[in-house]
Structure 1
């Protein structure tokens, strides 16, 4: 099982440490996306992206992913 998947499972269970780790994992990408904006807008965009990560964790349906993941694990 990948580290990201395990982290997502923990975050889905509202593990605050896992949620923080997920946000940190995507932080460099968020900073890169916002780097072209003026400083006054950068923080707002990064905050909105963090909110979207939290919403995505809540919406994520692990049951839908399981058939895919089991195929991936069998190939190893």
Structure 2
């Protein structure tokens, strides 16, 4: 499923779509905390996931510029 479709579904409360989004980005989250002390990793991973959820919920598809607008 496409990322945009998952985000739209997650914005409308689809918990499965939100979980799929988090799973898609799990390798990147793990990479981000690779150099964080081991005892702090879980807390930071949770903080990253929370920020992702908040960002997905408030993302405005209407104000996103198109490719041509960015040029």
Answer whether TM exceeds 0.5 for this pair: yes
TM-score by length of 2: 0.85
Q: What runs of 5+ residues in structure 2 fail to find an aligned partner?
A: none
The root-mean-square deviation of aligned C-alpha atoms, in Å, is: 1.8
Which residue in the other structure is 1:63 paired with?
62
Relative to its length, the structure with more helix (as a share) is: 1
Q: Which residue does 1:12 correspond to in 2?
A: 11
Q: Secondary structure at 1:36's aligned position in 2?
A: coil
Q: Tell me the TM-score normalized by structure 1.
A: 0.80
Secondary structure, in 3 states, of the residue corresponding to 1:6? Answer: helix
Match of 2:20 in 1: 21
Aligned to 2:13, what secondary structure does the other structure show? Answer: coil
Q: C-alpha distance in 1, partners of 2:61/2:27?
A: 25
Cα displacement (A) at 1:62: 1.7
Deviation at 1:37, TM superposition (A): 1.1
SS in 1 for 2:66: helix
How many pairs are equivalent? 68
